[in-house]
Copies of this chain bind each other. A is one copy, B any other.
Amino acid sequence: MVTRKEVALQAGVSESTVTRVMNGGYVSPSVREKVAKVIEEMNYRPNLFAQGLRTKRTYQIACIVPSIDNPFYGEVMQGIEEVAIEHGYVLSMYSSRVVNKSPGRSFFSGRNDAVILLSPGESRGWLLRDLWEAHMPLATFWDWETEAPSPSVSVDLRIGMQAAVEHLVSLGHRDIGYIGYMNPARAETDRNPRLTGFKESMAAHGLRTHPDQFQYTADRGSLDAGYHGVEELVGKFPGLSAIVTSNDLLAFGAIRWLEEHGIHVPEDISVVGCDDIAYSALSNPPLTTIAIPKREVGNHLMNLVLSLIESRKSHHDGSEHIQVPIELVVRSSTAVKRTNTE
């Protein structure tokens, strides 16, 4: 690898001058041109380690996602990327699985200028604390209104769930089931805005709910979970005319099982999902779902982190919180409740 020293030698100037040509400073036009030419010819590229050692800047920001093959997070990351690139930053993504298993705990530190945590609940408990203690600039994304210590972007799924339930009720549904992800380490309603929102809305409409109407899965965002989830659900509570799921993937899995068993969506049972991933608009049937503006969320996150870096602060003071509004997108997986004889 060619170093600054070699460039200086070749151009017949001091190393300092090479630096000035690269980073600005007093250099006469003639010298500047000469040196620039040599740099180009030798294809000189400053060593990031040396640079980073001095400046403490990497221009790389880390994004930790629960799972890389979940399209929801993919779309959020697109949004992050857009802004990152605009500002000359590189985005590096790590899955929290890896982060959790990683031997050196806070390995981002020193390697990234900041980190963005998507759904921090999925990462081991110490992660947030570690980052905090390391004074690492940090922004987080949550799916509930939060008192997060770091700047954050959030989305109020409770409101989303209200809209979903309202929509179903307006179609005449009263026996509505729920299939949702639930972190096994947590209590039922502890920080589970989807579930909480669902229950609240049901109550608000005067609809009693029975425990059998709920089906939980520990497998976030898996199709299989949805597939087997409905199976159990309709088994223990056969009277359902509609189902709400805590994400689109679950909904797809559920629809599949239903179709395989001759139960048609939406004719026999209505299904509403949550997230509105790209596929949802073109699935069969197109899914009624709670739409989260993923790209926008990503944009906000990156901007938050950017301003932290610029101001050289970490998160230890008045944090900014941005709440992104969401809305129900009605498509074809929901319909008026059937009233014919059973």
By a beta-carbon cutoff of 8 Å, the part of chain A in contact with chain B is 1, 43, 45, 47-50, 52-53, 58, 60, 62, 67-71, 74-75, 77-78, 81, 84-85, 88, 90-95, 97-98, 101-104, 106-107, 109-111, 133, 223-224, 226-227, 249, 252-253, 255-256, 259, 278-279, 281-286
Asked if A69 meets B77 with Cβ closer than 8 Å, knowing A45-B110, A282-B253, the reply is yes
Task: Closest B residue to A254 by CB, please name it.
Answer: B282
Q: Are A91 and B98 in contact (CB under 8 A)?
A: yes
Asked if A279 meets B111 with Cβ closer than 8 Å, knowing A95-B81, A98-B84, the reply is no
Give the docked Cα–Cα distance between A38 and B146 (Å): 37
A218 CB to nearest B CB, Å = 18
Give the docked Cα–Cα distance between A259 and B74 (Å): 28
Q: Are B98 and A94 in contact (CB under 8 A)?
A: no
Q: Are A92 and B95 in contact (CB under 8 A)?
A: no
Chain B residues closer than 8 Å to A45, beta-carbon distance:
104, 106, 109-110
A35 CB to nearest B CB, Å = 18
Of B60, B253, B282, the contact of A111 (CB 8 Å cutoff) = B60
Task: Closest B residue to A84 by CB, please name it.
Answer: B98
A227 CB to nearest B CB, Å = 6
A133 CB to nearest B CB, Å = 8
Chain B residues closer than 8 Å to A50, beta-carbon distance:
49, 53
Asked if A68 meets B74 with Cβ closer than 8 Å, knowing A252-B279, A284-B259, the reply is yes
Give the docked Cα–Cα distance between A291 and B267 (Å): 33
Q: Are A279 and B279 in contact (CB under 8 A)?
A: yes
